[in-house]
Amino acid sequence: MSEVKTQIDETVKANDVVLYMKGTKDMPQCGFSSRVAGVLNYMGVDYADVNVLADENLRQGIKDYSDWPTVPQLYVKGEFVGGCDIITEMTLSGELDTLFEQNGVGYNKDAADKIREANA
């Protein structure tokens, strides 16, 4: 399992934003992954997507790595941010905008505002 941990560690450190998900950003394979990928895609965030369904060791490995039981999992600048519910809450509160700004991650502020307006 240490091989998988090393692979995950390298991926989250090599990319500013990484989403471990079921499926891909273009074809999510579950509703929770679809929601988070949809938010990131709509906000124009450049991120790496990792399909945990392609590798059972990776699917379990990411849960062990973060000590978080579910997928999707979002990482920003090597740090675990959260899963679907947390990302949804952070998007609606504006915390995700702040996190991206603090870490120099580009995103479309107008798109983020539209998400909040639509969910007000």
Find, among 74, 22, 76, 32, the residue nearest to 52 by Cα. Answer: 22
User: How many CB atoms sit inside 10 A of residue 76's CB?
Assistant: 20
Fold that domain 2-118 belongs to in CATH? Glutaredoxin (3.40.30)
Q: Which two tokens stand for residue 101?
A: 């700004």
74-99 pLDDT, tens digit per residue, is 999 999 999 999 999 999 999 999 99
User: How many CB atoms sit inside 10 A of residue 55's CB?
Assistant: 14
With a CB cutoff of 8 Å and minimum separation 6, the contacts of 64 are 1, 5
pLDDT at 120: 86
Sheet with strand 17-21: strands edge to edge: 48-51, 17-21, 73-76, 79-82
Domain boundaries, the chain: 2-118
pTM value?
Answer: 0.96
pLDDT at 1: 54
Residue ranges, the chain, pLDDT below 50? none
pLDDT at 63: 96
Residue with tokens 């504006």: 94
